[in-house]
Amino acid sequence: MTRVLIIVQNLPVPFDRRVWLECQALVSDGHQVAVVCPKGSGDPAYQVIDTVELYKYRPYAPGGSKAGFIAEYAYSFLATAWLTLKARRSGRFGVLQACNPPDIFWPIALVLRVIDGTRFVFDHHDLSPELYQSRFPDGPKLPYKLLRALERRSHRTANHVISTNDSYRNVAMTRSGKSSTDVTVVRTGPDPQLLRRGSAYPELRRGRRFLAAYLGVMGPQDGVDIVVRAADIVVHQLCRDDIAFTLIGSGDCFDDLVALRDELSLAGHVEFTGRAPDELVGRILSTADVGLSPDPKNPLNDVSTMNKSMEYMAFELPAVAFDLRETRVSAGDAAVYVVPNDVHDYARAIVELMDDEPRRSRLGRLGRARVEQELAWSHQQGAYLGVYRRLIRGSRTLDRTGG
């Protein structure tokens, strides 16, 4: 049995679905797993769920400015380092897996490598340099260069890199010089047994005929303001009073988005739930007619895999999305694609899809089939565990040979 430590900074576990699926896969393969991550609302500092030890620190997010990110990441690094030492009291870790963003945890991997021979897996969730470009398109170049350097150091320190799609895999090889044999694509596939369409709850439509749903983070690069502005066009320009919008999630822009909704007189049409428990998310997505993927085209989104798109597909929801490279790879024919960043086209596509029930049903079936046959976590788990088996086998070989 190998002890594995997983580090996550941007979401608590098990709320982070990808990381929790990884934890469960490792446990099922006979490993002992510990996680260091921020607390969610009401979370204790330490708990054990399904044999996974969770060490949690109080999150600190001073704001979305450049200085705020530096302060947040410095705090997170120190809190993570402290809890890593605390978790190590129960024994050395054979493997450390760090999930980004941010790309700052490679020094912890180096220390554990020196004192314990710990192998390092870098689970590459986001492109931090492109995230900076997307949030601060006119910002200074120095932070971008620093983020590129941190990304490169994370890749090169890692014994193995896990990429969420082929675009990220290409970044690891071309920007950071990783060998193709040291980079494995493991997509964030939904679990179709847990995420499936159930009975509808008509009251969630709030007296309207149709429901459009958004599920995800609400940051500057996520385009949720496009949903609100599209709803304004749907309601006030296209005169459609029969469509309700429910937006699930939270993030840096949450308060601004609520204010925008109220400014546009959409309180009766657009509902914000904040972060919602899985049960409520399931009810909303089982009731919805269309899923919304409003991610605008920018340096990050064009090459990133959007988890919400695949969750919509699991719930047999056709999605309305901008025409982005990796969104097409994930959703295939199960989505309606519109000209990137065109709010009017996005609004019209929502209305047209609502009015075409046969098309909605066909796209929903295509999406569900794609999840079951290609994207589900059961199809990704083998590649993920294969990374660990190779690393652990290689580590044992080195131990026997004295390398």
CB 364 within 8 A of CB 316: yes
Higher pLDDT pick, 307 / 108: 108
Higher pLDDT, 70 or 175: 175
Give the pLDDT band (50/70/90) at residue 13.
very high
Radius of gyration of the chain (CA): 21
pLDDT band for 395, please (50, 70, 90 cuts). low
Phi, psi of 118 (to 5 degrees): -65, 135
User: Which amino acid does the sequence have at 151?
Assistant: E
Name the residue type at position 20: W
Residue range 29-77, pLDDT digits in tens: 999 999 999 998 899 999 999 999 999 999 887 666 667 778 888 999 9
Alpha-carbon distance 219 to 250, whole Å?
8
Q: Quick check: 402 pLDDT over 60?
A: no
**377, 359, 226: which is closest to 292 by C-alpha?**
226
In sequence order, what are the residues at sequence separation of 6 or more whose Cβ sits closer than 8 angstroms to the Cβ of residue 355? none
Whether omega before 44 lies within 30 degrees of 0, making that bond cis, reads no
Sign of CA dihedral 172, 178, 181, 182: negative
Q: What is the pLDDT of residue 396?
A: 58
- Terminal CA-CA length for the chain: 21
Short-list 153, 163, 156, CA closest to 183: 163
From 366, 301, 392, select the one nearest 29 (Cα to Cα). 392
Residues 244 and 381: their CA atoms lie apart, in Å, by 37
Chain-wide mean pLDDT for the chain? 94
Res 63: pLDDT:
64
Residues 120-132 pLDDT 10s: 999 999 999 998 8
pLDDT, one tens digit per residue, over 68-106 is 778 888 999 999 999 999 999 999 999 999 999 999 999
